[in-house]
Structure 1
Amino acid sequence: MINKISKLFSGLNFTLISIAFFVLNVVLNLLKIETVFKPVWISIFISAFPFFVGAVKNLIKFKIKNSLLISIAVIASVFVGEYFAAGEIAILMAIGELLEDYTVDRAKKGLNDLISSAPKKAKKLIKTNDSYTVKEVPIEEIENGDLIRVMPGEIISVDGIIKEGFSSIDQSILTGESLPVDKTVGDEVFCGSMNCFGSIDIIAKDVENSSLQKFIDLVERAEKEQTPMQTVIDRLAVKLVPTALLIAIATFVIMVLSKFDLYTSINRAVTVLVVFCPCALFLSTPTAVMASIGQASKHGVIIKTFNALEKLAKVNKIAFDKTGTLTYGKLNVNDIENFSDLSDEKIMSLISSLESKSEHPIAKSVTEYLDEKNIKKEVVENFKMKIARGVEGEILGNKYFCGNEKYFRENNINIKDNVKEKIEKYSSESKNIILFGDEKEVLSIVTLSDTLRENAKEMVEKLKSFEIEPLLLTGDNLSTAKYFSEKVGITNVKAELSPEEKFENIKSLKENNVVCMIGDGINDAPALKLSDVSVAMGKTGSDISIESANIVLMGHDVSKIVYLKKLANATVKTIKFNIVASLLINFVAVILSVLGVLNPLVGAIVHNLGSILVILNASLLYDRKFN
């Protein structure tokens, strides 16, 4: 029963009620209206009750937590008649608890969305005599070895091996690859990835432990392994509370033994407790962090957890995903080489006409590029698309082909030596290559690639100046990863990583380092969760990567990580100053209280002044300029 009441009182609705009664009491005082019952008492009861319950539970387990500090602060304030101070402490801490709960719920939402997005049904092929019938069944009824049909546009429901058909598979959810991967008979496909084009039949395998389920398990594991930062306040609490109590008790005993009257003895002991009220100490960290959060929000950065900045100040390894992080994650046309006697405009017109009929992402990128140049399109007849190969069609009575090198060789189209040289050159630059030609020879080459973000190289150099080692962890192939890493100056590269391998790499790095992970894909979520600090790209990032991260960059300027590092360093320095200042004020105030220089009323004023000092110092962070 008590637990239910405690949970109810700690909720948003009752916290708002508590604030309302506190404000009511303030208004009554301003209007000089005397009442028999003070509304602030309701505020104290509602907001402090959960902390009292928590303090008692922890004491039973011989644990000293923040709840005991808060409880003592409230009780001491009430004892000396500082009802407003008691109300302020209780309400402030209640709001802090609500913010922490909100952050945890938001972090779990992405995982719940991912779990709910897992396929619930599959199209099972059931053999009857010499033919197959398709029956949609719950995923729980699928067994290893069952034959499953996946239509274009559908999510693959189980891991399996393609038995029949060709297609392009978008497996970015698991690997982060920016392009669909061509798959044919004998190739492996994974649960959770999308079938883009052709119908395929797959033989189910690892039904109970699919790639998607492993991925979900990874996020859950990371959630459990990433323990919250033990704040400076928590570390000091173990010593602060007994010290305050001992000094108060010792003061009372010495006063009694020194023949002081009972009222004076109690008065000095209570003053010790009042000046030891940990308001300034409690405010030292959250006020600095909130000011920094406000500062960051002005620069398009959302800081979601209070301990992210403190950990970022200690980071010595930053792991980057490639696609959508160091690069834009979108294919752009780089080169159009013309090997024919036709004009460039004519070649582009023929390419645009043929590719506009295709639904492949590469074809769409080419078409968009040529449309921006207002290239004219011709009518295409007898259009055909070969999955994992390319397209062909007749334009103005001539047959043309557009696709990969394998497609051209299968159609016995001549690839001259000068064309081969260009193919080798662009392949070494990790560019996607499309060949265009007629029935005789290659007429043109179109290349596409992801684009490096403008400030990526400068950002990496500045991070190195902070003695931070940048790393590249990506699901892309090794040649592409090395090409982009060399451009930005990253030497530590690991490519072709699954989500589990990214997770294990971060886990290994964390053994002797403080690690920050920066990513944007669903496949980055486990690694983001596990890392000490995680940063997601808000404009291009997936929902779960954004919700898994501590920090979100709302734009696509990854160079803001340098600004964040500077902000984190400044925040930690401010927090340390605030803690030292609040402890020093407490130390001096305790001595003066023991000596009788301070009474409970003056002690309350002193501890409030300490709080104001901490708040003013923290607020300077909000408008601070960082180069």
Structure 2
Amino acid sequence: MEAVLLVQIVQTLRRGEIGLDIVAALSMGSALAVGETLAAAVVALMYAGGQFLEAFAQARARRELRGLLGRVPRTATRLVGPTAETVLVEAIRPGDRLMIRRGDAVPVDGNVEAGEALLDQSSLTGEPLPVRIPKDGAAMSGSVNVGEAFVLGTRLPAAESTYAGIVRLVDQAEASKAPMSRLADRYSLGFLGLTLTFAGAAYALSQDVVRSVAVLVVATPCPLILAVPVALVAGVSRSAGLGVLVKGAAPLEALARIRSVVMDKTGTLTEGRPGLLEVRPEGSVTEAELLRLAASAEQGSTHPMAAAIVAAARERGLPLVAPIGISEVPGHGLCADVEGRTVCVGSRRFVAGCLNDRPGALRHDPEPASVEDVDVCVAIDGRIAGSLVMMDLVRPAAGALLTRLRALGIRRIVLATGDRRAVAEAVGSRLGLDAVKADLTPTAKVDAVKAARGDGPVMMVGDGVNDAPALAAADVGVAMGARGAAASSEVADVVLVGDDLARLADGMEIAIGARRLAVQSVVAGIGLSTTGMIAATFGYLPPLQGALLQEAIDVAVVMNALRAAMLKPASWR
């Protein structure tokens, strides 16, 4: 063991580093030199056992990451006309139709084309209950079908799917070394000097070299060597189990120290797509009838606003009919015949233009919507029947997330968006943000991140390609992985696998807990070791008993650090 340790030390010194293993080598070598062979054997056992415990702890802590890798599907059942064929996942192309049977893992991202899917997404998002995906709903690769078979229409090739991106992130996460571990190496020379000072004092007091050996034996700094990486890697693994992929121990430790947050708006704090906020009927028409006729007509359009209106009507269970005689001006509106009635849906200017040839038909403009809303007018049989208020809806979990972030020590939350100032300020006011910065270019978002550093380490949260520079500039970049751009996920330090914003606070809680356990283990371990060194200096702790004491300290701190693998955020308690 001594020879192996010396080889490791020489290799470390050649790289220009002074590791804490030098103290372990000194304690073993000096114990052997003075005939304390049993103490030397205990130190060797302690060192080898410590390395084993570290390997065991990290292997246990990475079980969620290994679980992800173990669920990679190799083949899939592709439907070609009336026949089914088994193909390699790599051969799947966008537009293919796949049969996903009970127990199958979804191999690529896609939409449910036939049937209804009941998917276990626990390995991706941490959601413990199966999620029901309706027809046309999105299914993430890596989730497992626990219901009846369904047909999946693929959207991406396997190499670009959510699951493939997760596997790449796992590889990055496992290759990281904790910053506190680097800090331990950086100050190892000082610790070595302190140990030699105690050893020299012991000899000066007693003229007994054995007493100095006892100091060296007790000083073996395994708590600092083992506890930090074990706790942080366990935290990385635990976060992955909750759907928060942290790319290694360094970002996890940084995540625990965040004091300022810069957030994008569209797709992050808001849904990133239009939604129906309110139905405003006029005259004798009811809300349900107004929405039903408008949605029936909008079935003839591919505009995102039209799709949102149709989706809102279907969510309310309204019976839609097929429109005929559709006349559309793309981006402005359309007119169609619905059940023998002429229905026009679109902007106020478009609807006014449609009614110009009917004097008195346009009685007045509908009530203006607020600055962040879009007002869609609806006319039926030549008269204004009401309006539909559309907006980019704030995520339901956004308010609760910001409250949790402040409870975790975040001092300042800033909205940074390229959207119009009026829209951004409306969202900022609604959520109680500390500052709003609008009309920003990607470069200006980077400047916003740098400016926020005055309040402490900064976390940037975004989802688009335009957010990628700011994510890279922040101390911790967080990407929304479900609908986010690939570029943002690549440069981010943390990726939220699902579309649940609350996972961000969960990840921060795990990071803070893991760092707390790491520091707790180090302080307790080094404190006990220092106490033992003092006792050995004054002759109260012989080499053998010192070695046994240090062994017990090492086991205790590693087991304490391993508790990070069992941390639970407040939302899961």
TM bin, normalised by shorter chain, reads: 0.5 to 0.7
Worse-superposed segment, 488-497 or 524-533: 524-533
CA distance in 2, matches of 1:49, 1:93: 20
Instruction: Tell me, yes or no, if the aligned pair for 2:348 and 2:365 is still in contact at 8 Å.
Output: no
CA distance in 2, matches of 1:446, 1:399: 17
Q: 2:275 is matched with which residue?
A: 332
Q: 1:447 aligns with which of 368, 384, 389?
A: 389
Shift of 1:317: 1.7
Instruction: Tell me, yes or no, if the aligned pair for 2:416 and 2:437 is still in contact at 8 Å.
Output: yes
CA distance in 2, matches of 1:518, 1:339: 42
Q: 2:475 is matched with which residue?
A: 532
CA distance in 2, matches of 1:531, 1:76: 43
Q: 1:21 is matched with which residue?
A: none
CA distance in 2, matches of 1:339, 1:547: 50
Amino acid at match of 1:495: A
CA distance in 2, matches of 1:315, 1:228: 16
Q: 1:73 is matched with which residue?
A: 24
Instruction: Calculate the TM-score normalised by the size of structure 2.
Output: 0.64
Instruction: Tell me, yes or no, if the aligned pair for 1:322 and 1:473 is still in contact at 8 Å.
Output: yes
Shift of 1:353: 2.9
Instruction: Tell me, yes or no, if the aligned pair for 1:517 and 1:533 is still in contact at 8 Å.
Output: yes
DSSP 3-state at the match of 1:454: coil
Worse-superposed segment, 524-533 or 360-369: 524-533
Shift of 1:486: 1.2
DSSP 3-state at the match of 1:450: strand
Instruction: Tell me, yes or no, if the aligned pair for 1:517 and 1:528 is still in contact at 8 Å.
Output: yes
Q: 1:366 is matched with which residue?
A: 309
Shift of 1:505: 0.9
CA distance in 1, matches of 2:54, 2:534: 27
CA distance in 1, matches of 2:486, 2:426: 29
Matched, 1:239 2:190: yes
Matched, 1:320 2:263: yes
Instruction: Tell me, yes or no, if the aligned pair for 2:336 and 2:343 is still in contact at 8 Å.
Output: yes
Say which one has the larger Rg. 1
Instruction: Tell me, yes or no, if the aligned pair for 1:302 and 1:554 is still in contact at 8 Å.
Output: yes
CA distance in 1, matches of 2:446, 2:184: 31
Q: Map of 1:149-548 to 2, 5 A cutoff?
A: 229=179, 232-245=183-196, 250=200, 258=207, 265=209, 270-290=213-233, 292-293=235-236, 296=239, 300-308=243-251, 310-339=253-282, 346-395=289-338, 400-411=343-354, 413=356, 420-422=365-367, 424=368, 426=369, 428-437=370-379, 440-461=382-403, 463-464=405-406, 466=409, 468-511=411-454, 513-548=456-491
- Superposed CA deviations along residues 334-363 of structure 1, whole A, max 9, x for unmatched, are 223333655655544432232112112221
Q: Map of 1:561-572 to 2, 5 A cutoff?
A: 569-572=512-515
Instruction: Tell me, yes or no, if the aligned pair for 2:50 and 2:554 is still in contact at 8 Å.
Output: no
Matched, 1:56 2:51: no
The 1:570–1:381 alpha-carbon spacing in structure 2 relative to 1, beyond 3 Å, is: closer
Give RMSD over aligned pairs: 4.3
Worse-superposed segment, 595-604 or 500-509: 595-604
Q: 2:64 is matched with which residue?
A: none
Shift of 1:84: 3.8
Instruction: Calculate the TM-score normalised by the size of structure 1.
Output: 0.59
CA distance in 2, matches of 1:453, 1:378: 31
Shift of 1:299: 5.2
Instruction: Tell me, yes or no, if the aligned pair for 2:481 and 2:499 is still in contact at 8 Å.
Output: yes
CA distance in 1, matches of 2:338, 2:494: 52
The 1:369–1:242 alpha-carbon spacing in structure 2 relative to 1, beyond 3 Å, is: same
The 1:525–1:444 alpha-carbon spacing in structure 2 relative to 1, beyond 3 Å, is: same
- Superposed CA deviations along residues 453-474 of structure 1, whole A, max 9, x for unmatched, are 3343344345446461221112
CA distance in 2, matches of 1:274, 1:390: 82
CA distance in 1, matches of 2:475, 2:539: 47
Structure 1: segments with no counterpart, 5+ residues: 1-39, 100-226
CA distance in 2, matches of 1:241, 1:496: 55
Amino acid at match of 1:449: M
Shift of 1:623: 5.3
CA distance in 1, matches of 2:180, 2:45: 30
Amino acid at match of 2:192: V
Greater relative contact order (CA < 8 Å, ≥ 6 in sequence): 2
The 1:98–1:573 alpha-carbon spacing in structure 2 relative to 1, beyond 3 Å, is: closer
Instruction: Tell me, yes or no, if the aligned pair for 1:280 and 1:608 is still in contact at 8 Å.
Output: no
CA distance in 2, matches of 1:448, 1:51: 65
DSSP 3-state at the match of 2:20: helix
The 1:382–1:417 alpha-carbon spacing in structure 2 relative to 1, beyond 3 Å, is: closer
Q: 1:112 is matched with which residue?
A: none
Q: 1:558 aligns with which of 501, 514, 520?
A: 501
CA distance in 2, matches of 1:385, 1:49: 80
Worse-superposed segment, 488-497 or 398-407: 398-407
Shift of 1:323: 2.6
CA distance in 1, matches of 2:22, 2:273: 55
The 1:439–1:289 alpha-carbon spacing in structure 2 relative to 1, beyond 3 Å, is: same
Shift of 1:572: 4.5
Structure 2: segments with no counterpart, 5+ residues: 33-39, 61-176
Worse-superposed segment, 347-356 or 72-81: 72-81
DSSP 3-state at the match of 2:396: coil
Worse-superposed segment, 362-371 or 456-465: 456-465
Amino acid at match of 1:479: A
Amino acid at match of 2:475: D
Instruction: Tell me, yes or no, if the aligned pair for 1:74 and 1:89 is still in contact at 8 Å.
Output: no
CA distance in 2, matches of 1:493, 1:387: 33
The 1:444–1:308 alpha-carbon spacing in structure 2 relative to 1, beyond 3 Å, is: same
